Chains A and B, each alone.
Chain A
């Protein structure tokens, strides 16, 4: 297999090249003005390793895949076109009011509680650029008020006169009957034909999001419209760059649904968060290939701690209403939680409880932790890590950032020691303990809310600060196995290299499987089967459009179901894709009951209140060849090797240990597969520090994978 996959992040462009049996990791700085330059540089480094030219690689690979944070950045920087919007008359304020709670989406708890400071984010569509059109459909899609076409033409002209560069159309109940939205698009084309210079792009809400909810669907369409031209130009430039270097196959773009597609089957919204989602994809692939079982993927950087769940058995965790930046949208996205905890999290004195609090404020990278010596005066987690002896001041981030322990010390002294009446080291230990607790609590809530027990999971720890904090976090959760994955420096790019082409289509509906009033089971089998067939056909067409052979196309059926009038919709994965009789209906009910009980507790099911399907979803996909990991499991205990002599020792302090411990230090590059090191220990690499707490062992595995195992866990566990 020959393949190139890329994760274009805010700072680095990570590149992963598979060249038959060789796996090459390469990085370059992201070049925001022209993403192709950073890509070419990173790929160039890989070329050097292989001794090949760019053209030689690009003409030979089966695909080039991109994950990118470009869209996320464009949203944060608020760079986008002026959007004009048409909504059902009477709903003009739906988007500006953002379901009331929109002021707090994407904020931490304090930001949500502080009402006098509550402020909605700057809108992507100005309120006066939203116009109502006279029309109305009911919940079944029946016409209540016909579309007033003259009114539509008037409103469009007014929007264009006010400077609209793109028009988003989001009408009530358009997902059950898109006729009015489609007619408006036709009218826009009549007024502003596509071959003329005044042509204006149109986004129809039902095409972007398939489920009910006029606000979230409108927001989805707006975000999509807002990013459309930015993504179009950036991705087109990347594609042109590939063409110029003799790449002749379709360029593939990673979707936040956990799949990928060609540009002609990708909308801008689908690319948001595709980088972190690729990381979760890599975790899933790794777990499956190496039999890790349940995995919680954690990525701890400077400002945030991303969590993703990969469960044995292939149950996917999606957010159907994820928050992107500050916007609640309605697209299925691989579930990803971000906690405000990282190396830059600021520690302060908690006057109320007479202890330390940590975050959610972050020093970020500018000014960064006090020890960066860039003007930061407040103590951070990294300052504590430095003073506890874990970090080498002269060799942090491969030596690129010299650390100043005196700054860290004075920041902690000034902010905490007097108030807490403790030493600097004691304060640093409290910071360390607090931030690990915060992350553990976040992880706990995340897993438990989905019905999982953390101790049944292997933790994957990556990101710059992941291996430094993972033991403390895992210990709080009774997790005994941590894996710092192979190829971790380009882990998201590795994930991009393993994605399959996938398209998700879904339909909102009101389908009663069991009517508790009449005590009748669902019997409109034709309706169910017709909807499933239609969604399958739409997914199939998406893949056919990309040249996928029909025989390669597979489908998964998922149903979002609920008891009575609940809010929650538990997703049931249904093996049989059709309903022919009561047995099939009961099988669906039974599957739903099992999934629901697992999540909320056995006995919590309430079928007596009725059972409904709210969404039918089809994932159409085609599987591709994937990257093969070697056996990265730790070798059996008897085969483990002693480490070479440590390169150095440092005095370190650990939570729960009285006094300092003389801690040996190794370089990761000196530790071969099979070597076991008992904690306390530090193993430093260019990109991270592996901190092995007392009571834990470090076991090196193949392909640069590293294990942290809680003492006395027999190797046969794996």
Chain B
């Protein structure tokens, strides 16, 4: 690390001493790690003298608009190239961004398509390059250079994302940067696919590329490429996509050079700067129109992906004047050896997504849209983890952080006079999909995941049901793909690929969009396995809105001891196309049927073993007793809900054969339920008295603040806490050790240990 305190034992150093010490430290830096000055700041860099000068020369808003549109077209062209040419599944489903950055490293203009979270995240590595490499004689930044990067501690969401970054010069002067970023997947981590949940330290997380030069004279350096290929499971992917990103950057560069030639460097520099400043000012203006108030909410993570536990994401959103402040203090402390932590920049990236897609979708993409919004977190917390904490499953915390933000923002939108989209309940937020890896039927070593992570159910809105499996919370126009094409390349079949999961609902006056069932089984490889990396098997990771409900819980189910392909061919009648039927009826003799939380570590699967999950539903909106009975019946017809659940939940009376609604009986049932609610109700003070406890329960491993006190963070038991400001190691025991201890205790209890000692 390159920063340390120079105040010693009460004596403040003089300015001269401080300068000397600083010089000494700079000259003796062991390692240029992530720079907190860069990583903690998401606002725009201050205007430079060059930018002032450029703006003084070119500030006509209409000229600026013309140039901006042209650069936007260039970014979109680059994006399309990456999406088309990219080999990573992520590139194909749009987990990509291309953009133009100011000379100071701020993202000014981003491609219209792709993953928005990047728009607040990929500026950090460029700022690192500017700060450390430009003037370093052993590195330098020259025309024709290109830099690569993936370590999320230096920026980016997680280590699966790789960026290619090119400086753009005009007559020897650095005028801007272009970059393209792709979710590559495989990165040589302890598990295939690039997002290991088994990682217990950053050393388990695979490639950790701090920003470094990999391109000179617009050519990828073969020695470095070879090193990178040698460090991952998919050398082909590493090669192909480095090239793709480079050529996409070169295409954007062409567009910029045209602008430089026709309009001059000042016009370009001014366009980039004013674009960001205008957006930032507009965001401030919009915030100022929101009501001054505070909304508190929280989301619970129900596992670390290794064990069940209760992990709090605490969120207080305050608006005052033109300031909007997300306060995540009180969220769980970071896990020292679990991968669900995130760097704070990742959290900010997802919060930016809330605004760009769910609040102000008309805003242009770029760093400026989130720049003026403030974020407060505890240090060394699950939403602002330290350098030494693993974060390969940061999605767990940035997604739940997103939902906390989305849930809180909805309350503001409801009261906001000018709306740019609909008030809505939270979207489902977990990547319920299969990560896979191994050797394919074609002998290729692969590691990646099914695009079904993009099938998150949408939350209901103020006036209609949520759309089923609409889009991931981190992107728009994302694709869940074509199974026929996938099967050509991977040795497993989705025997159930897209079938709505019945009764996996989030009820409300308007119900959430629902998820679908996936059943997979390996077919043509003996070296193939799966993992799942989600939470929400025991506690929903969402909250409903204005009386609407959260989604259900979605466990992982497995059937082992069967070759389902034998069954399909020889006794096909035994196979059922729903988890419900297979797990309840257990049709395959001799097989084992189990359910699990959704954090399955990478597991080699035998031919024909079934792994089954469901996508989740978006949250419901409004009181379910107000739901139009015709909507309930339509849900039954479409297989979204069973008649029994429909009647029980929505209090709708209907003929089970014809589904004809009995309007009168429905009214009566609903009136009775309203009365029953009143009967169950209690004065708030009474409720609080019984409900509120001074400490978390002892039988649950609970992490985070409890009640209103956000100064104390619980670390798994009422006895173990830390001061929110003071880091403390937070190790979890290995689940296998825990299991062994449990089994040994049982053996000991029945006297079966036989005196064995280790």
Contacts and interface: CB of A to CB of B under 8 A. Distances in A.
Contacts of A563: 87, 240
A172 B244 contact: no
A352 B485 contact: no
A480 B83 CA distance: 32
Nearest to A111: B361
A112 interface: yes
Given A91-B498, A117-B422, A134-B572, A99 B443 contact: no
B65 A353 contact: yes
Contacts of B483: 91, 172, 214
B482 A103 contact: no
Interface in A88-119: 89-94, 96-97, 99-101, 103-104, 109-110, 112-119
A430 B84 contact: no
Contact of A566 (B86, B358, B464, B572): B86
B239 A90 contact: no
A434 to B, nearest CB: 8
A354 B275 CA distance: 11
A608 B112 contact: no
B499 interface: yes
Contacts of B279: 352
A118 B471 contact: yes
Interface stretch (B27-35, B44-52, B70-78, B531-539): B70-78
Given A90-B497, A132-B577, A353 B569 contact: no
B498 A97 contact: yes
A264 interface: no
Interface string B555-593: 000000000010011001101010000000000000000
B69 A437 contact: yes
Contacts of B497: 90-91, 94
Interface stretch (B187-195, B472-480, B597-605, B721-729): B472-480
A566 B250 CA distance: 19
Interface string A69-97: 00000000000000000000111111011
Interface stretch (B385-393, B453-461, B697-705): B453-461
B73 A101 contact: no
B62 A356 contact: yes
B495 interface: yes
Interface residues of A, number: 82
B488 A215 contact: no
Chain B interface bracket (under 10, 10 to 19, 20 to 34, 35 or more): 35 or more
Interface string A135-152: 010110001111010000
Nearest to A567: B92
Given A93-B468, A116-B422, A144-B565, A601 B495 contact: no
A445 B85 contact: no
B77 A448 contact: yes
A374 interface: no
A90 B77 contact: no
Given A90-B494, A353-B68, A430 B480 contact: no
Contacts of A103: 467, 470-471
A655 B743 CA distance: 83
A597 B644 CA distance: 60
A635 to B, nearest CB: 33
B590 to A, nearest CB: 20
B471 A101 contact: yes
Contacts of B519: 90
A565 interface: yes
A537 interface: no
Contacts of B320: none
A608 B239 contact: yes
A566 B87 contact: yes
Nearest to A216: B482
Interface string A341-361: 000000000111111100000
Nearest to A330: B482
Contacts of A353: 61, 64-65, 68, 275, 278
A138 B487 CA distance: 8
Nearest to A215: B482
A11 interface: no
Contacts of A445: 73, 76-77, 80
A434 B67 CA distance: 11
Interface in B345-390: 356-358, 361-364
B724 to A, nearest CB: 34
Contacts of B639: 92, 127-128
A144 B568 contact: yes
A145 B568 CA distance: 5
B81 interface: yes
A421 B357 CA distance: 32
A578 interface: no
A617 B328 CA distance: 57
Contact of A354 (B278, B461, B467): B278
B83 A567 contact: yes
A641 interface: no
Contacts of A91: 483, 496-499
Nearest to B519: A90
Contacts of B500: 92-93, 96
B13 to A, nearest CB: 47
A516 interface: yes
Given A89-B577, A433-B62, A433-B66, A144 B493 contact: yes
Interface in A417-463: 430, 433-434, 437-438, 441-442, 444-445, 448-449
B482 A110 contact: no
B476 A112 contact: yes
A214 B361 contact: no
B263 interface: no
Interface string B206-246: 00000000000000000000000000000011011001100
Interface in A608-663: 608-610
A214 B484 contact: yes
B296 interface: no
A516 B516 contact: no
Nearest to A434: B65
Contacts of A540: none
B546 interface: no
B468 A97 contact: yes
A118 B467 contact: yes
A659 B70 CA distance: 27
A704 interface: no
Given A117-B422, A138-B523, A97 B469 contact: yes
B455 A97 contact: yes
Given A144-B569, A173-B484, A437-B66, A565 B237 contact: yes
A114 B361 contact: yes
Interface in B124-160: none
B368 to A, nearest CB: 10
B631 interface: no
B317 to A, nearest CB: 18
A647 to B, nearest CB: 34
B489 interface: yes
Interface in B244-284: 244, 247, 250-251, 275, 278-279, 282
Given A115-B458, A172-B483, A145 B467 contact: no
13 contacts: A92-B499, A93-B500, A97-B498, A100-B480, A117-B421, A118-B467, A139-B487, A145-B572, A430-B62, A433-B62, A433-B66, A445-B73, A566-B86
Given A100-B455, A118-B471, A510-B488, 15 more contacts: A92-B498, A97-B455, A97-B498, A100-B470, A139-B484, A146-B572, A148-B573, A173-B484, A214-B483, A441-B69, A449-B77, A449-B81, A564-B237, A601-B250, A601-B251
Interface of A: 89-94, 96-97, 99-101, 103-104, 109-110, 112-120, 127-128, 132, 134, 136, 138-139, 143-146, 148, 172-173, 175, 212-216, 350-356, 430, 433-434, 437-438, 441-442, 444-445, 448-449, 508, 510, 512, 516-518, 563-568, 600-601, 603-604, 606, 608-610
Top 9 A-B residue pairs of the complex, sorted by shortest distance between their CB atoms? A568-B84, A90-B496, A114-B361, A145-B568, A139-B487, A116-B422, A213-B482, A116-B424, A93-B498
